[in-house]
Structure 1
């Protein structure tokens, strides 16, 4: 593959953020846009130079020039759209959460490997240089005993909730909720560092029949406990802290951007930051493009194991908390 010819599904703000980085990355370009609303699709295509706009998904997936599909639709649509794209012979980059059910994630992973297609979970944390710094420095704090994370970001769509509306991001019919969105990043970083916990339980804040607008997830690991708070109905100080018997690591701005890694022990204090570009998605687009053009399937497939652990954690926790999606 000499170039990633990208087709996008979705037209929200996150798509614009990704395409901004596509525009500054060699080896990838936007080829076509799919949107159920033609006018939105035309606006996106005009802004980023796509040659074609589709309102029919099958016609979009039949476009032979498209070799890679980026999916940023509502959560509950991810599984079926990813499956259809893989069956159409397309590589797939799918926004988080990759799926709402772990068995779906395992099925799609097996299908991608069977067809020798790239399949990537679009979580910027996975591609940040500071994640490798964090993994390298983690042993310095000794045996981990406590992990604390908070990611709070007031959503403009919560204002719609207060007005009595049900936007997709909070609608269980679309796989919405804070745990599947904001708190996802905390869960992902735990899974990337420590694997799957022994158990997890979620304490959500809910309004009526909506999915959670905020909440705290407790994960019990062998020898330590992790607390992950997330909110789309508050403002707060975002951070992630790992406390061990020999010291602690403090991550400024939390699990999403890993803006800065501060390592404090009895004998030393060091601060690390290997991210010159403040836009997290820059590293994601750059690294994925590099791996895919080089045919490095193992690098991309390797991250799917973490993704499956994350979905297992989320599915277990939300079901225990009574947050049910269609098909549960």
Structure 2
């Protein structure tokens, strides 16, 4: 068993969660952490038993005893840091969203191909056994007519915003907001299952900072509609659904799928409980939810593959095409968008022209 020695960028709670899941893979070895603050970096290193601490990404990426880098920095830094690491010969697992926009993602993918190193977006739900069950059983739903997903989670940082304190979660300069933080969880699985939509219609609430607080998005496919809801200023407890002519797949939470049920067409439920014809698609998932993205990434490195078949470069690009268009319709602009030529365009009643 060959160890893959990792350096991580970022010391937030997501990095904590990823490390916990990653350590369930015996091939994972944590070698270094890079933080803008040396003090935070040392504290994080003590907590996780990390040998080396850096405040310079160039230095960490240049180490010969680091095989790969996991990046969990603010969204606006994903592209530049990933490109730096890949140009140093290091495969990169980059947190979602992969980049601020399509143009940045294309530059990252071009670097991956030019340098011959793996690049993968760390979108965890699509790599779990429960999502694999959805993919396996999609055929039993028949012709799919509707996809629905919701991820609405009231942010404690919104309370601070109402008090006049603007934290990073609501700063456009960090490429943040509801679409990038939560919306991508509803969109990425849709793209993996059904590809690129022909039309997008979005509406939402833009906060005084210029970041979006929530949105409702309607996406049109041939013979199928998709609707996604997401919010950082309200809560929702709705499950996700994939509705077909022969049945419906019910997913408890699109961002963390722990239960999948198939309900054949015509099967009703009564007050006495669910019909026995409702099929619970049980999965034995005895690993942490973050384990699966690390295992997929390590497999790619050891197999010499540049990208995942599920969290592929194309799926990441299409997702960003969609988020770019949502932001355009809402009027949300990031500093990262400046001087970037728009390569795709959606409009009501019009198709997509892809520059990829």
Alignment match, 1:13? 13
CA-CA distance at 1:275 after TM superposition: 4.3
Alignment match, 1:59? 59
TM-score where L is the length of structure 2 = 0.87
Name structure 1 gaps, 5 residues minimum: none
User: How large is the RMSD of aligned CA atoms in angstroms?
Assistant: 1.8
- Once residues 302 and 159 of structure 1 are traced to their aligned partners in structure 2, the CA distance between those partners, rounded to angstroms, is 34
- Once residues 301 and 151 of structure 1 are traced to their aligned partners in structure 2, the CA distance between those partners, rounded to angstroms, is 21
CA-CA distance at 1:126 after TM superposition: 2.5
Alignment match, 2:239? 239
Alignment match, 1:265? 264
Alignment match, 2:270? none
CA-CA distance at 1:269 after TM superposition: 2.3
Alignment of 1:164-203 (within 5 A): 164-203=164-203
- Once residues 238 and 303 of structure 1 are traced to their aligned partners in structure 2, the CA distance between those partners, rounded to angstroms, is 28
Question: Is this contact kept in 2: 1:5–1:30, CA < 8 A?
Answer: yes
Alignment of 1:90-109 (within 5 A): 90-109=90-109
Change beyond 3 A, Cα 1:111–1:91: same
Alignment match, 1:45? 45
CA-CA distance at 1:291 after TM superposition: 3.3
Match of 2:286 among 274, 277, 280: 277
2:287 maps to 1:288 = no
Stretch of structure 1 that moved more, 297-306 or 239-248 = 297-306
Change beyond 3 A, Cα 1:16–1:327: closer
CA-CA distance at 1:299 after TM superposition: 3.8
Stretch of structure 1 that moved more, 316-325 or 275-284 = 275-284
2:229 maps to 1:220 = no
- Once residues 146 and 301 of structure 1 are traced to their aligned partners in structure 2, the CA distance between those partners, rounded to angstroms, is 21
Question: Is this contact kept in 2: 1:207–1:213, CA < 8 A?
Answer: yes
Alignment match, 1:156? 156
Question: Is this contact kept in 1: 2:178–2:212, CA < 8 A?
Answer: yes
2:323 maps to 1:324 = no
Alignment match, 1:309? 318
CA-CA distance at 1:166 after TM superposition: 1.6
Q: What's the secondary structure of 1:98's corresponding residue?
A: coil
Stretch of structure 1 that moved more, 205-214 or 227-236 = 205-214
Question: Is this contact kept in 2: 1:33–1:53, CA < 8 A?
Answer: yes
Q: Deviations over 1:191-212 (max 9, x none)?
A: 0110010121321222213311
CA-CA distance at 1:294 after TM superposition: 3.5
Q: What's the secondary structure of 2:196's corresponding residue?
A: coil
CA-CA distance at 1:188 after TM superposition: 0.4
CA-CA distance at 1:111 after TM superposition: 1.7
Question: Is this contact kept in 1: 2:144–2:224, CA < 8 A?
Answer: yes
Question: Is this contact kept in 2: 1:120–1:301, CA < 8 A?
Answer: no
Stretch of structure 1 that moved more, 258-267 or 311-320 = 258-267
- Once residues 210 and 333 of structure 2 are traced to their aligned partners in structure 1, the CA distance between those partners, rounded to angstroms, is 10
Change beyond 3 A, Cα 1:327–1:303: closer
- Once residues 171 and 238 of structure 1 are traced to their aligned partners in structure 2, the CA distance between those partners, rounded to angstroms, is 28
TM-score where L is the length of structure 1 = 0.94
2:131 maps to 1:131 = yes
Q: What's the secondary structure of 1:233's corresponding residue?
A: coil
- Once residues 71 and 46 of structure 1 are traced to their aligned partners in structure 2, the CA distance between those partners, rounded to angstroms, is 19
Q: Deviations over 1:184-237 (max 9, x none)?
A: 111001101100101213212222133112221211111121110111222220
Alignment match, 1:29? 29
Stretch of structure 1 that moved more, 264-273 or 139-148 = 264-273
Question: Is this contact kept in 2: 1:119–1:301, CA < 8 A?
Answer: no
- Once residues 192 and 298 of structure 1 are traced to their aligned partners in structure 2, the CA distance between those partners, rounded to angstroms, is 14
Stretch of structure 1 that moved more, 105-114 or 31-40 = 105-114
Alignment match, 2:255? 256
- Once residues 186 and 302 of structure 1 are traced to their aligned partners in structure 2, the CA distance between those partners, rounded to angstroms, is 14
CA-CA distance at 1:284 after TM superposition: 1.6
- Once residues 19 and 9 of structure 2 are traced to their aligned partners in structure 1, the CA distance between those partners, rounded to angstroms, is 12
